[in-house]
């Protein structure tokens, strides 16, 4: 998936597994748990090689006990509740818990193991239990409510006022005002959801890793780029398959090129059907899990006074209601569906066979070559992963004045991880640590995401605590003869996740819960998506796109072809995204009682019928592997946020285009009002401060070529 962000949560489950750095052994009586002391490393990077699986549960329990003591001190404070002794004290509490949970959950899907799965359920269950206990503490809530009710008389700054209001509203959303009986019910629901998310993710990872297509007939490889063939041979060797075998999996670097280039139609069909039936039947069937999740969410929403889970999910973000999100999606979907019909008609002219869903990408590529003389495999030669990485570093330096220096000896959780010191280009001030982990492995889930091992904040002495941010991806691996060469979609993904990274690295928020990506969910994609525009800007391409063999800068002719083809296949791309977002909202508005059940695939078909979805198009994610929606609460009834934020990013980038994409004043304004501000102000106010006006949805439609400029 091109655009995916996983936000690490401190006290809620949403991950499939944990990771293991060392053999799980009983700790020595003389050995100190490294999670329970300050990290004696540069910039306090976690000492990954010293951490054992047996360290996590003792650390979690100690961290919970410490925060319990901090909460007790807040509750027993004899002074009248105010911002400092209640809201700020609560925001600053749980530092150890935050550190342990970020470390534990942060890499849970990058280095899965059977040992870590055994620990996962206990870890998340106990973390969730404490989160519920704290959220529903009546004495703590009484102090929070007192500050909230008197906030206007406290002469608070805007960030302080926003922190008060968010703290109060979050407490209410987590059950603080429920009766004791209803609180017990909510705790049981949350515990149930924790278990269900773990099960969904475990099924998905296992089903993904189990699928493989082995080929020995080289004629079936026709049309595939040589790099893809080489990677398939290496994948077969890793599985100890006989020499001369080629293995194709459902991981993006294997699956997507087959659908785009393989002349063997049956191979395309096998891969497509393997992917779209993922975790849909058999021992890894996620259908029953989805039913149980929907039932639990229905009960949770009703307990908290909402008509359905989608209403609960959207109430505290920019959209406010599911209908507001659906209204935007309908505008985009209508335009995209019309364009899909035009695209299919064009592609159908290339073949006598009826275009099927597994043919779409193949004939779209044929059409792109025919109309624009643009071969994506030719483009890949200019996008070696190291060159693209230097491109995002150059972008960050030019726009925001920061440098990236590799720290080769820094601790790493995997040998392929790279670590960088991020500094101010003028003063040399340390700003952040940045890590990346870009290649697929069986222990890592699909997709790409950003998270942190340590968030930014200002300590009690007024000193900024620098964050530790990381990006994870699943790009094509290098082979014995070629470096990792990225598709243009991969390039945009790298820029996208790096944009999230900049949001985390450059933040200057004073309070922990307002730093970096701690913003409304439908605002969080703005920094990531706006930076995708630089990926294909001619001025930027000239600075980083170099042929991996010759060092030649990407020629003007190829840039012109790339620009000309910029709107190619946008009906399909936009349609699969918008339809998936609408499917998500339909799931969120479905209420299931305890004894009810729904056939997941029948439900999807009913949504497709409502949308009048073209037969050649499919949801970007089918429900059994729609991890955004059923792998956690993170993006549930919130997948629309990618398009919601795209209204902002396309409208905002038009300002850069008007003034110059590297205009210092515009970049400084974006840095100040968006990247540095975090969640310290209402997101629409921040956007207007940067843009000078409210955004317009037409910018999105223009950017995707769905209406004329």
**3-state SS, residue 128:** helix
According to DSSP, the residues that pair with 422 across neighbouring strands are 404, 432
CA 317 vs CA 2, 167, 650: distances in Å? 23, 14, 20
What are the structure tokens assigned to 689, written together? 């401060």
Q: Residues with Cβ < 8 Å from 562, sequence gap 6 or more?
A: 374, 379, 488, 536, 541
Q: What angle do CA 579, 582, 587 make, to 5 degrees?
A: 125
Alpha-carbon distance of 313 to 585, in angstroms, equals 10
Q: Tell me the C-alpha distance between 319 and 642, whole Å.
A: 12
CA distances from 181 to 144, 162, 187 (A): 22, 31, 10
497 tagged catalytic: yes
The rounded distance, in Å, linking the Cα atoms of 485 and 474 is: 12
488 is written with which tokens? 């243009």
Q: Say how far apart CA 385 and CA 484 lie, in whole Å.
A: 6
DSSP code for 590: -
Could you list the beta-strand ranges (E) of 594-676: none
CB 127 within 8 A of CB 60: yes
The string over 599-616, giving b where at least 16 C-beta atoms fall within 10 Å of a residue's C-beta and e elsewhere, is ebeebbeebbeebebbeb
88 CB-near residues (< 8 Å, 6+ apart): 163, 511
8-state DSSP, 208 = H
Assign residue 160 a region: left if phi > 0, alpha if psi is -120 to 50, beta otherwise?
Answer: alpha
Q: Which DSSP letter does residue 97 get? A: H
Contacts of 31 (CB under 8 A, 6+ apart): none
Question: What are the DSSP calls for 263-279, one per residue?
Answer: S-HHHHHHHHHHHHTTT
Strand partners, 450: 471
> Active-site residue among 497, 525, 532, 616?
497
b/e map of 626-652 (b: 16 or more CB within 10 Å)?
bbbbbbbbbbbbbbbbbbbbbbbbbbb
Q: Are 655 and 691 in contact (CB under 8 A)?
A: yes
Helix (H) or strand (E) holding 210: helix 180-210
User: In 440-569, where does DSSP find H-type helix?
Assistant: 488-505, 525-535, 538-544, 556-564
Distances (CA, A) of 261 to 219, 375, 390, 558: 14, 11, 29, 20
Judge contact between 155 and 161, C-beta under 8 A: no
Q: Which of 244, 210, 240, 250 is nearest to 229 (CA)?
A: 244
- Please report how many Cα atoms fall inside a 13 Å half-sphere around the Cα of residue 537, on the Cβ side: 19
Task: Give per-residue burial for 515-544: e unless 16+ CB within 10 Å, then b.
Answer: bbbbbbbbbbbbbbbbbbbbbbbeebbebb
Q: Which of 19, 38, 165, 170 is nearest to 96 (CA)?
A: 38
In angstroms, the CA 298 to CA 292 distance is: 10
Q: Which residues are catalytic?
A: 497
């Amino acid at each position: 998936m091109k655009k995916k962000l996983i936000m690490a949560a401190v006290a809620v489950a949403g991950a499939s597994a944990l990771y293991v750095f060392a053999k799980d052994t009983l700790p020595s009586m003389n050995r100190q748990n490294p999670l329970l002391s300050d990290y004696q490393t540069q910039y306090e990077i976690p000492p990954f090689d010293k951490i054992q699986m047996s360290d996590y549960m003792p650390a979690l329990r100690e961290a919970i006990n410490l925060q319990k003591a901090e909460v007790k001190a807040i509750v027993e404070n004899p002074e009248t509740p105010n911002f400092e002794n209640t809201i700020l004290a609560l925001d600053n509490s749980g530092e150890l818990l935050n550190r342990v949970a970020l470390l534990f959950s942060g890499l849970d899907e990058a280095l899965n193991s059977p040992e870590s799965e055994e620990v996962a359920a206990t870890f998340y269950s106990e973390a969730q239990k404490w989160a519920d206990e704290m959220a529903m503490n009546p004495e703590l809530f009484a102090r929070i409510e007192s500050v909230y009710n008197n906030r206007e008389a406290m002469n608070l700054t805007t960030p302080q006022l926003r922190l008060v209001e968010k703290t109060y509203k979050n407490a209410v959303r987590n059950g603080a005002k429920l009766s004791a009986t209803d609180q017990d019910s909510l705790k049981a629901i949350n515990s149930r959801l924790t278990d269900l998310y773990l099960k969904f993710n475990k099924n998905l990872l296992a089903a993904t890793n189990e699928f493989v297509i082995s080929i020995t007939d080289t004629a079936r490889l026709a049309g595939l780029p040589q790099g893809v063939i080489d990677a398939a041979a290496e994948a077969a060797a890793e599985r100890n398959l006989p020499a001369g075998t080629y293995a194709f999996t459902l991981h993006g670097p294997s699956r997507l090129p087959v659908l785009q280039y393989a002349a063997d139609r049956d191979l395309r069909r096998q891969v497509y059907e393997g992917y779209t039936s993922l975790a849909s039947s058999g021992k890894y069937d996620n259908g029953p899990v989805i039913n149980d999740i929907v039932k639990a969410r229905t009960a949770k929403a009703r307990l908290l006074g909402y008509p359905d889970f989608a209403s609960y999910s959207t109430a505290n973000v920019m959209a406010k209601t599911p209908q507001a999100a659906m209204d935007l999606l309908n505008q985009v979907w209508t335009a995209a569906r019309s364009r899909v019909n035009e695209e299919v008609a064009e592609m159908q002219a290339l073949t006598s066979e009826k275009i099927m869903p597994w043919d779409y990408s193949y004939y779209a590529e044929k059409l792109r070559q025919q109309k624009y003389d643009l071969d994506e495999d030719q483009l890949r030669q200019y996008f070696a992963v190291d060159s693209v990485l230097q491109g995002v570093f150059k972008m960050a330096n030019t726009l925001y004045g920061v440098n990236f220096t590799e720290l080769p000896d820094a601790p790493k959780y995997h040998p392929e991880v790279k670590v960088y010191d991020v500094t101010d280009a003028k003063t040399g001030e340390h700003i952040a640590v940045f890590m990346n982990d870009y290649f697929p492995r069986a222990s890592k889930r699909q997709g790409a995401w950003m998270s942190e091992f340590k968030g930014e904040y200002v300590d009690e002495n007024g000193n900024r605590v620098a964050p530790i941010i990381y990006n994870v991806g699943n790009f094509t691996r290098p082979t014995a003869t070629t470096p990792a060469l990225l598709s243009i979609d991969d390039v945009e993904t790298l820029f996208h996740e790096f944009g999230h990274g900049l949001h985390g690295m450059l933040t200057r928020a004073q309070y922990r819960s307002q730093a970096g990506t701690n913003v409304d969910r439908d605002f969080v994609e703005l920094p990531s998506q706006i930076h995708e525009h630089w990926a294909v800007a001619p001025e930027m391409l000239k600075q980083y796109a170099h042929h991996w063999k010759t060092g030649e800068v990407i020629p003007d002719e190829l840039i012109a072809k790339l620009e000309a083809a910029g709107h190619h296949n946008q009906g399909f791309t936009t349609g699969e995204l918008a339809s998936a977002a609408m499917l998500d909202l339909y799931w969120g508005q479905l209420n299931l009682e305890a004894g009810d059940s729904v056939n997941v695939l029948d439900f999807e078909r009913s949504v497709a019928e409502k949308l009048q979805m073209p037969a050649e198009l499919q949801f970007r994610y089918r429900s059994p592997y729609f991890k955004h929606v059923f792998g956690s609460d993170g993006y549930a009834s919130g997948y629309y946020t990618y398009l919601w934020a795209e209204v902002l990013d396309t409208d905002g980038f038009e300002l850069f285009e008007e003034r110059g994409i590297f205009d210092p004043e515009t970049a400084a304004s974006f840095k100040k009002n968006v990247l540095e501000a975090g969640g310290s102000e209402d997101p629409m106010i921040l956007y207007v401060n940067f843009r000078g006006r409210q955004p317009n949805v037409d910018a999105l439609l223009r950017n995707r070529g769905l209406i004329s400029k």
